Chains A and B, each alone.
Chain A
Amino acid sequence: MSDQLGNKILMDSEVESAIEEVGSGDAQRPGDVRPTTKRLTRRRLILRRFLRNKLAVAGVGVWIFLILLALVGPMVSPWAFNDVDRRAYLKPPSQQHWFGTTQSGRDVLALTMQGLRKSLLIGLLVALISTTIAALVGSFAAYFGGWTERVALWVVDLLLVIPSFFLIAILVTGGPQGSSSWLLLVLLLAAFGWVLSARVVRSLTLSVKEREYVLAARFMGLAAPKVIIRHILPNISSLLIIDATLGIGGAVLAETTLAFFGFGVQPPDTSLGTLIAEGQRLATTFPWIFLAPATVLVIMVLSVNAIGDGLRDALDPNSQSGGKAA
């Protein structure tokens, strides 16, 4: 199933579309003789295509803002996330507390920024680790074929049989508790998050591994791991970049669900998921505790997904959104 979806060959028409791009860059009137020496490097080409997608550009802007908020916000904010304001329990948004306060008198804005910090960290780490695993497993399986491939595919199937949610929940419950338990959570989310992408990486590698440059590298006597890392992975890097980008949102959403049932980041540490879970219990009467972290979470996931879509369009020369010559 995923083979059909993932088997788009990304490389083929790159050259053609690059040529098209150069032509389409500035509309030339007939007879207007200008030197057509302006060449675009691949990087600039992708950048141009990416910038054309307004939603994706907005996504980048939002992400820069969110990262700044997470890094600088807690220093600027008058309230620390663990400060308790004894004069304000469950108060709606006001001048002192922009986003209101919680049941225990903590500032919702400060809490949200603290949670955002952890959620960003979790999302980025999980995406990085799981895409790396997916890239290595998928490409090695396809490159070696035979038993390696069979075993890898079998492990993939095995991990897909049972919902990872329950397995992560069991391991979090039985695992060590404490302030660094979120690292375990990251590892678990990554350990179960790579499987589907590994399948796509495998099918892409299958289509790349018989190419001339791979064969040339092989016949020159390069060892298999080097062929894969130097020649195959860079050529499917567009998929890996997209996969990692979209993986960030997936990881953050998964953490939210786990946190809702108490399997997420453990107190005193906090994440957006933990905050949403806490706020949810009182949401119908005191909605602000819930709405602030929920809004930030949705904006964050939405913008990272928009970036991912923009990257997909920019990196995939077959996509329709490459722009038109008109």
Chain B
Amino acid sequence: MGKYLLRRLLNYAILLFIAVTLTYFLAATQLNPRGLFEVRNPPLDPASIEATLLQYNLSDRVPIMERWWTWFTAVLQGDWGYTVDGGHVNDEIARRMWVSLRLVTVGSILGIVLGVALGAWTATRQYKASDRAATFGSLLILATPILVIATILTILATKFNQATGVRMFEFVGETGDRGGYPLAGLVDRGQHLLLPTIALTLVGIASYSRIQRNLMLDTLGADYVRTARAKGLRKQRAVMKHALRTALIPTGTYFAFSVATLFTGATVTEQIFTFHGMGIYGVQAIQQQNVHGTVAVTAFAGVCTLTGAVLADIMVAILDPRVRLS
């Protein structure tokens, strides 16, 4: 198994290298940092523009391979480059990845736990009223972009705040003004996290319950569950021990795969609730013609995806005896 994982890892490293290199070429040719200076009024001296661009390895007059090599050798030493106004990409990333993590952790854990529970439960009640209601609810949420879910939540929260006169829900930023009582900071953070967490949880429940329900339906009808029942196991025990456990394998791998992408996957939520996280940094980098920032975020996302893939591989190896034995 060690050799198998090692080979996968090497394959992923090569994939990542090529993907990031291609992204660099894409960003370096499509984005135009020079344009940022050319629109300034009064116009800047072309020579000084060129000097600034050269300083940060952003001049489009330098051949692209040369720029790439300069960039790549720096990246190997852990330096992801600078923006045109001298900001260091490393600092931004180092700060923002934790913002993203704080935003998504609770929501995604709640989403998967509740989603799996709901999916497993509705599968045992197929085509009953509760199953139909849950199915319709999940389909409705999955058809709604998170942008709309989050916005509706803010509209409702505003109504609630106005009606009660208590600022229960906060939806701008990570922290706000806090009271002087003990643990006020924590409560404040909690209030700010409430709405985005609800939004992320809803989406998580919807998608995981769909997946889990379909997987459960397959295993519930399987021969080994029938055998377990025939052997005399109670229905609940047969379902929990044999059907649910088998059906959790694909969900586990799916979760492992998606947990890493959470860092950059919550871009919309970050924007609506003004969390200055990774996803929003990627968007701003593209809008502000920030070549190095863009590449760094996509590389980060790539690392996340592949970490997820490795986790998924390990998860399969641990959970699935068929893989473990072969």
Residues of chain A at the chain B interface (Cβ within 8 Å) = 1, 4-5, 55, 154, 157-158, 160-163, 165-167, 169-171, 173-175, 249, 253, 256-257, 260-263, 276-277, 280, 283-284, 287, 290, 294, 297-298, 301-302, 305-306, 309, 320
Contact = CB atoms under 8 A, between A and B. Distances in A.
Contact of B145 (A157, A256, A305): A256
B139 A162 contact: no
Interface stretch (B44-52, B81-89, B192-200, B250-258): B250-258
A160 B91 CA distance: 27
A276 B26 contact: no
Nearest to B283: A261
A163 B305 CA distance: 9
Contacts of B294: 166, 170
A224 B58 CA distance: 48
B298 A276 contact: no
B264 A276 contact: no
Contact of A167 (B26, B29, B267): B26
Contacts of A306: 139
B216 to A, nearest CB: 12
Interface in B100-139: 126, 136, 139
Contacts of B15: 154, 157-158, 161
Contact of A305 (B26, B139, B217): B139
B261 A163 contact: yes
Contacts of A167: 23, 26, 298
Given A161-B306, A163-B265, A166-B286, A294 B151 contact: yes
A294 B16 contact: no
A301 B271 CA distance: 23
30 contacts: A1-B253, A1-B254, A157-B15, A158-B18, A161-B19, A162-B20, A162-B298, A162-B305, A163-B298, A163-B305, A165-B267, A166-B297, A173-B286, A173-B287, A249-B143, A256-B145, A256-B147, A261-B271, A263-B286, A276-B147, A280-B151, A280-B272, A284-B154, A284-B158, A290-B151, A294-B148, A294-B151, A297-B148, A298-B148, A305-B139
A166 B301 contact: yes
Contacts of A260: 147, 268, 271
Contacts of B145: 253, 256-257, 276, 297
Which A-B residue pairs are the 7 nearest by beta carbons?
Answer: A174-B30, A302-B143, A301-B143, A161-B19, A284-B158, A294-B148, A161-B302
Contacts of A257: 145, 147, 267-268
Contacts, number: 122
Nearest to A163: B301
A298 B31 contact: no
Interface residues of B, number: 53
A320 B126 contact: yes
Contacts of B253: 1
Q: Could you tell me the dominant secondary structure of chain B's interface residues? A: helix
Contacts of B158: 284
A116 to B, nearest CB: 15
A305 B207 CA distance: 14
A222 B261 CA distance: 45
A174 B31 contact: yes
Contacts of A173: 30-31, 286-287, 289
**Centre residue among A162, A249, A287 by max chain B CB count within 10 A:** A162
B130 to A, nearest CB: 16
B142 interface: yes
Interface in B289-326: 289, 294, 297-298, 301-302, 305-306, 312, 316
A188 to B, nearest CB: 12
A59 to B, nearest CB: 10
Nearest to A154: B15
Nearest to A157: B15
Nearest to A284: B158
A261 B268 CA distance: 9
Nearest to B144: A298
A73 B271 CA distance: 33
B296 to A, nearest CB: 11
A264 to B, nearest CB: 12
B277 interface: no
A154 B286 CA distance: 27
A161 B257 CA distance: 11
Nearest to B30: A174
A158 B28 CA distance: 19
Contact of A162 (B30, B217, B283, B301): B301
A293 to B, nearest CB: 9
A87 B20 CA distance: 53
A261 B30 CA distance: 18
A262 B287 contact: yes
B305 A161 contact: yes
A285 B313 CA distance: 48
Contacts of B136: 55
